[in-house]
């Protein structure tokens, strides 16, 4: 027994030794910026506008290379901007921005006693008295934010070296259409969770927020998924001083992650200084044939699939204006045999979207949008060997006829659906404090949908007095496709709409975010539709988080079948650990 205990202890000691002696994970590529790098790009007086200087050999500095990834101007131009004035007897602290100032987390400046001296958006100079200060900024809970120490001298502005990283995530569906997706993000090289993120409401004039994070490797997963999941995730490496534009492809209904990467799905070409345009055209052609030699007589079945996807976009960006336009056509067909009479429509979608934004302030501006969705092509239904007859009903459910001579039946005519959405309003970042961020949208919107007369496939419950029909008639129905006529319909709706979303940081380890969307059609002002989404996340320790999700959806149209009153709760205790 003593020998076994001693041997076990030796194994434990050896295991601990190897864990301690194991090599750490590789460092992030690149090198840290040094003060010489910043001096090479920023003039000493910080008042002269400059794009930076090249080294003696003519090569660019690391800072200049990093600045090429930014959406914002170079550091020297930002520091020479309109918000760079420093009063006499004071000094300045400057934190650069990678994107628009209102898209990045707020900056907090603390004095040597830990009290807040000033705060605001990045990309501006914070005027302070000479002395020692702590600058706090970045995404996540308070404990996760980036901390930098600076010493300020009178008459000088001290730039905080941009050794952190920026991450902008655009969420799109599999057809490349932007929507308000939802995801979670965690650092995996030194495990740490940063909570949930959202795409933008492009039709409401929103722009994707920018994550400000420490360099490292990050994993993006679906909301509520296991951090160690091996499906439905993507990873991204963030390098010091660089902005990463990431495209996340999700299912627009379930938010399941389909793919993603640092790829621009809509690369643009310049038409003029403020105008850009782009387009893409793709298609598929697929032939296949099946020969069943055991079938007498021999039966060969051939199928042909055709698909076309075309997209065009045109944008105008010149502050304070932004105008975005997109057209997408997605068509898919298939036919059996070599006859065009058997042509069927797999997918038929036309999208036209236009959004106009006017930002008279960086955090405030009106918007107007219009979206048209339509289906152009008719829909044919082919009869098969298992259902050789068509059972055609009238509007009351009576059987009009049985037809076995038709090769196909037209279920839907051309232009069988048209949906128009439109709206206008005001988009404002109402609150932007260290512990609380809030955005408010308000306006007026509406929709109009139109469906012409068409048919749908029904079942025996669609037939009036089916059980009293003769046995022979019911037998004939059993081998038929039942076709039920649907009358022409249109549904206009118009009314005020509003939304509020916010992020709250409670203490060092708790974050809470939520959103409330309301639309109130004028036809039922006392019965609006609204959605609530909220999440509370508690970081128990670095490897363990406790999340609580709450969603509530309420839709109150006149049609009882279309009403929704659904509440969803979720509690997730998740952890991730691996020896590295």
User: pLDDT digit string (tens) for 13-66?
Assistant: 344 333 334 444 455 444 444 545 545 544 444 433 333 444 445 567 888 888
- H or E element at residue 33: none
- pLDDT surpassing 80 at residue 463: yes
Please provide the DSSP assignment of 88-120 as one string. TT-EEEE---SS-GGGSPPEEEE-TTS-EEEEE
Domain annotation covers residue 17: no
Of 162, 195, 213, the last residue of a domain is 162
Residue 76 and residue 90 in one domain: yes
Q: What is the DSSP string of 127-146?
A: EE-SEEEEEEE-SSSGGGSE
Same domain, 142 and 209: no
**Rounded CA gap, 350 and 344, in Å?**
17
pLDDT at 238: 93
Please tell me whether residues 234 and 203 are part of one structural domain: yes
Residue 333, phi then psi, degrees to nearest 5: -135, 160
Per-residue pLDDT averaged across 330-358, rounded? 76
Residue that terminates a domain, selected from 138, 162, 186: 162
Q: How far apart (Å, rounded) are the C-alpha atoms in residues 453 and 416? A: 8
Identify whether residues 250 and 144 lie together within a single domain.
no
Question: Domain check: are 332 and 234 in the same one?
Answer: no
- Pick from 446, 448, 445, 450: which is nearest to 420 by CA? 448
The most confident of the ranges 14-23, 262-271, 367-376, 570-579 is: 367-376
Say yes or no: 319 and 419 in one domain: yes
CATH classification at residue 208: 2.60.40.10
Tell me how many degrees the CA angle 256-436-196 measures, rounded to the nearest 5: 15
Residues 444 and 352 in one domain: yes
Q: Are residues 438 and 482 in the same domain?
A: yes
Q: Are residues 366 and 474 in the same domain?
A: yes
Q: Which of 42-51, 74-83, 115-124, 334-343 has the lowest mean pLDDT?
A: 42-51
Going by the DSSP 8-state scheme, the letter that residue 405 receives in this structure is S
What is the overall mean pLDDT for the chain?
A: 78
Check whether 303 has a pLDDT greater than 80: no
* Same structural domain, 300 and 382: yes
Task: Determine the Cα–Cα distance for residues 96 and 165; give it in Å rounded to an integer.
Answer: 12
Say yes or no: 135 and 198 in one domain: no
The verdict on residue 509 lying in a domain is no
382-388: long-range pairs with CB below 8 Å, 24+:
382/336, 382/342, 382/344, 382/407, 382/408, 383/407, 383/408, 383/409, 383/481, 386/479, 387/479, 387/480, 387/481, 388/479, 388/480
User: Is residue 58, in this structure, part of any structural domain at all?
Assistant: yes
Look at residue 328 and tell me if it is in a domain. Answer: yes
* Average pLDDT, integer, range 233-243: 93
Give the rounded percent of residues in the chain with a pLDDT score beyond 70.
80
Which pTM was predicted?
0.64
Whether residue 250 has pLDDT greater than 80: yes
Of 480, 498, 516, the last residue of a domain is 498
**Rounded CA separation 214/138 (Å):** 8
**Residue 441 is part of which domain span?**
264-498
Evaluate whether residue 575 is within a structural domain.
Answer: no
The CATH number for 37's domain is 2.60.40
Q: Tens digit of pLDDT for each residue in 482-495?
A: 889 988 888 787 88
pLDDT tens-digit profile of 178-196?
A: 788 889 999 988 888 888 8
- Whether 255 is covered by a domain: the verdict is yes
Q: Is residue 531 part of a domain?
A: no
Burial of 507 (C-beta count, 10 Å sphere; 0-12/13-18/19+): exposed
pLDDT at residue 87 in the model: 87
Please tell me the total count of domains within the chain.
Answer: 3
Q: Is residue 189 one of the residues assigned to a domain?
A: yes
Give the torsion sign (CA, 35, 37, 38, 44): positive
Q: Average pLDDT, stretch 442-449?
A: 83
Q: Is the per-residue pLDDT at 348 higher than 70?
A: yes
Residue range 327-338: average pLDDT? 76
Shared domain for 198 and 272, answered yes or no, is no
Q: What is the pLDDT of residue 559?
A: 66
């Amino acid at each position: 027994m003593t020998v076994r205990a001693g041997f076990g202890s030796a194994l434990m000691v050896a295991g601990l030794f190897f864990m301690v002696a194991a090599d750490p994970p590789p460092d992030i590529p690149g090198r840290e910026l040094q003060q010489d790098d910043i001096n090479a790009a920023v003039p000493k007086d910080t008042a002269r506008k400059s794009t930076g200087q090249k080294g003696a050999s003519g090569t660019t500095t690391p800072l200049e290379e990093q600045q090429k990834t930014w959406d914002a101007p170079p550091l020297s131009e930002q520091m020479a901007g309109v918000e760079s004035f420093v009063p006499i007897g004071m000094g300045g602290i400057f934190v650069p921005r990678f994107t628009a100032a209102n898209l990045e987390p707020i900056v907090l400046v603390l004095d040597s006693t830990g009290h807040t001296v000033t705060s605001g958006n990045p990309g501006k100079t914070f005027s302070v008295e000479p002395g020692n200060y702590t600058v706090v900024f970045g995404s996540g809970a308070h404990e996760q934010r980036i901390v930098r120490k600076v010493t300020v001298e009178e008459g000088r502005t001290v730039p905080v070296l941009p050794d952190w990283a920026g991450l902008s995530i655009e969420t799109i569906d599999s057809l490349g259409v932007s929507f308000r997706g939802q995801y979670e993000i965690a650092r995996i090289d030194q495990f740490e969770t940063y909570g949930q993120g959202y795409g933008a409401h492009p039709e409401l004039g929103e722009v994707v927020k920018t994550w400000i994070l420490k360099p490292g490797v990050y994993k993006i997963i679906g909301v509520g998924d296991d951090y160690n999941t091996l499906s439905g995730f993507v990873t991204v490496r963030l390098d010091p001083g660089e902005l990463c534009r990431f495209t996340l492809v999700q299912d627009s209904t379930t938010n399941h992650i389909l793919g993603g990467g640092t790829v621009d799905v809509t690369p643009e070409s310049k038409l003029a200084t403020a105008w850009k345009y782009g387009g893409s055209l793709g298609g598929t052609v697929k032939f296949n044939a099946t020969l069943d030699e055991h079938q007498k007589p021999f039966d060969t079945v051939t199928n042909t699939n055709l698909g076309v996807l075309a997209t065009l976009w045109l944008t105008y960006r010149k502050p304070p204006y932004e105008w975005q336009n997109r057209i997408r056509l997605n068509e898919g067909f298939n036919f059996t045999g070599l006859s065009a009479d058997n042509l069927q429509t797999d997918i038929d979608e036309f999208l036209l979207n236009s959004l106009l934004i006017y930002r008279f302030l960086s955090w405030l501006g009106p918007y107007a949008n219009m979206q048209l969705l339509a289906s152009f092509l008719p829909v044919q239904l082919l009869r098969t060997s298992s259902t050789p007859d068509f059972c055609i009903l009238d509007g009351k459910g009576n059987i009009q006829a049985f037809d076995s001579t038709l090769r196909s039946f037209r279920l839907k005519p051309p232009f069988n659906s048209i949906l128009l959405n439109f709206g206008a309003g005001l988009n404002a970042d109402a609150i932007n404090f260290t512990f609380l961020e809030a955005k408010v949208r308000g306006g007026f919107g509406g929709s109009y949908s139109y469906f012409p007369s068409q048919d749908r496939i029904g079942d025996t419950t669609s037939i009036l007095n089916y059980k009293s029909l003769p046995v022979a008639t019911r037998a004939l129905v059993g081998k038929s496709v039942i076709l039920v006529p649907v009358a022409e319909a249109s549904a206009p709706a118009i009314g005020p709409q509003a939304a509020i979303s916010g992020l709250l940081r409670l203490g060092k380890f708790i974050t809470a975010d939520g959103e409330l969307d309301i639309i109130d059609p004028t036809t039922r002002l006392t019965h609006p539709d609204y959605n609530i989404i909220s999440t509370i996340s508690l970081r128990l320790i670095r490897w363990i988080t406790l999340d609580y999700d709450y969603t509530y959806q309420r839709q109150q149209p006149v049609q009882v079948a279309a009403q929704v009153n659904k509440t969803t709760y979720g509690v997730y205790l998740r952890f991730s650990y691996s020896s590295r």
